[in-house]
Amino acid sequence: MDALLWQPNFYAIALIVAGMLSVSGAAVASQRRGNPGAIWLTLLMLSIAVWSFGYALELAIGDLRVQILMAKIEYLGITTSPVLWFFFALGYCGYTDMLRKGRLHWLWLGSLSFLLLAWTNEMHGLIWTGFYQVHHNALKILVVTHGLAFWGLVAFSYILLLAGSILFVRQAIRTRSPHRAQSFTILLAVAVIWIGNILYNTGLNPFPYLDLTSFAMTAAGLIAIFSLLRVGPLDLFPVVSETVLDSMNEGILVLDEKDELVYANRAFRQYAGIPATLEAGASFESIFKHWPGFFEAFQKAASANTEFMIAPNPAQVFYFALRIAPLPRRRNAAGGRIFIFEDISESKQAEIQQAARQLSHLNVPSQETPAPLTFTFRAKDGKIIEVNRTFILKLGYPREDIVGRTLLEAGIWSAEQRADFLRQMHRTGEVKDFPLRLTRSNGDSLEVRLTACRMQAGEETFVFCLAAVPS
């Protein structure tokens, strides 16, 4: 066998360096498997490395047969990198379900088909119709003429590159401002790939006979890895929010170290009554302006595991199990906090109803109507949390005008009556057959005899009141 005709040159050295950088990048990306799209970026960098090393040998060896062999080896990277790029875009932008369910495995069939056509080109000439060498800058460079299947590969690759690019552009537009720099870093990678492809396939290449696509893919991959390395707990939210957090029943709120909004999922926005248009950077106080007392209670809480009740408006009462946890510090900067709100309203209401059955042993006048008037208020502040239909019908107040207020604020009883009632409650823990004059919405009085007891629901104490009323 004749000795190989070596022709060392700067281009080949640059491609070898690019290939080594791609392998190093793959190693780095493989260590970030918990990050979105990392596994596909790892495979993409290995694919680009094969492409770069093959092209380096094509330029470094002047034998035509060896150059043709290297061109076929390069197709291992050329045919797989568009698919891997698209899969990386899907993973990075949060569409992991499409990858897990195997809906796109057929794309590998297209990739394999073009690879087989390249390796069997002598039989049909569908990828290359001819090979020859040109002398340029003291180098023998392989020049090819392309067949029909090559342009099919170009279309296949451009569709996948475009689809991935659209995903990244969409992600950058939708990403909240604190994380937009990361998304635009990925867009830089997108631009580099398109520039390299367009220069090669349109004849606008400033370096005649040199394919810049492998250089562009290497640069784009390294830019993507740089972005991946910058991904931390907060940076993941624009991705995860679309696929996981927004589908959760629990309300999720993330604040940064300045107590400003980083992320709020759909459930929390519904609970708190904040619009989807509320921008990142909104203050803690403004987020909870409809939740009286919450800001003051939890403004300084670095961690918590508790239950609380909130009435954002008179017609709504929520009970939540709240967990607050600090986020890790990053680069010596203070971390933020994550709030998790689990709606336990249904179970709390069941507890209240069960506790109300404790009243069954108390004396209620039998000569009155069997449909009693009931209401429940919170012991610590007297706020009414629930009234029954008889209360509304007999007193004439709409429910939304009562819930969230005290009886005194609503003008239903006087300060003197309230004082007498509470005095007896403090003394015995319950009230039996207490004479009470309630004021209707029209100003008339309703004479009742009230029976009440304390009951515990979680960490909260409530007072349940029952009164039989005239028919």
Q: Are residues 57 and 165 in the same domain?
A: yes
Pick from 222, 199, 243, 206: nearest CA to 92 = 243
CATH of the domain at 154: 1.20.1070.10
Q: Are residues 117 and 156 in the same domain?
A: yes
Share of the chain above pLDDT 70, in %: 76
CA distance 69 to 62: 12
CA angle 27, 29, 32 (to 5 degrees): 120
The confidence score (pLDDT) of residue 2 equals: 53
Domain contains 238? no
Q: Are residues 59 and 138 in the same domain?
A: yes
Domain contains 457? yes
CATH of the domain at 279: 3.30.450.20
Share the mean pLDDT of the chain: 78
Domain contains 126? yes
Cα dihedral sign for 258, 261, 262, 267?
positive
Domain contains 184? yes
Question: What is the per-residue pLDDT across 30-72, written as a single tens digit (0 to 9) for each?
Answer: 776 656 677 888 898 899 889 889 888 988 888 889 989 999 9
Q: Which residues of 62-85 are buried (b: 16+ CB within 10 A; e: fewer)?
A: bbeebbbebbbbbbbbbbbbbbbb
Pick from 459, 455, 466, 458: nearest CA to 429 = 455
Q: Are residues 365 and 333 in the same domain?
A: no
For residue 146, pLDDT over 80 is answered with: yes
What's the token pair of residue 188?
A: 């830089």
Q: Are residues 226 and 372 in the same domain?
A: no
Question: What is the per-residue pLDDT across 343-354, written as a single tens digit (0 to 9) for each?
Answer: 887 777 676 666
Domain contains 4? no
Q: Are residues 19 and 61 in the same domain?
A: yes
Lowest mean pLDDT among 95-109, 147-161, 255-269, 308-322: 308-322
CA angle 338, 343, 349 (to 5 degrees): 150
For the chain, the domain total comes to 3
Domain contains 5? no
Which residues lie below 8 Å from residue 223, measured CB to CB, with a gap of 6+? Answer: 185, 186, 188, 189, 192
Task: From 320, 343, 366, give the residue that closes a domain.
Answer: 343
Q: Which domain holds residue 301?
A: 244-343
Q: 460 φ, ψ to 5°? A: -100, 145
Q: Are residues 37 and 149 in the same domain?
A: yes
Question: What is the per-residue pLDDT across 369-428, written as a single tens digit (0 to 9) for each?
Answer: 456 788 888 888 888 888 888 888 888 888 878 888 888 888 888 888 888 888 888 777
Pick from 396, 401, 391: nearest CA to 468 = 391
CA distance 236 to 242: 11
Q: Are residues 199 and 92 in the same domain?
A: yes
The confidence score (pLDDT) of residue 240 equals: 47
Q: Tell me which range, 76-90, 110-124, 379-393, 398-412, is most confidently predicted by mean pLDDT.
A: 110-124
Pick from 125, 132, 198, 199: nearest CA to 165 = 198
Q: Are residues 312 and 262 in the same domain?
A: yes
Q: Are residues 186 and 115 in the same domain?
A: yes
Domain contains 255? yes
CA distance 116 to 72: 10
Task: From 232, 267, 290, give the residue that closes a domain.
Answer: 232
3-state DSSP call for residue 418?
A: helix
381, burial (CB in 10 Å: exposed 0-12, middle 13-18, buried 19+): exposed
Q: Are residues 396 and 423 in the same domain?
A: yes
Q: Are residues 371 and 222 in the same domain?
A: no
Task: From 311, 343, 375, give the residue that closes a domain.
Answer: 343
Domain contains 3? no
Q: In what order do the strands lie in the sheet with 460-468?
A: 384-387, 373-378, 460-468, 445-457, 430-439
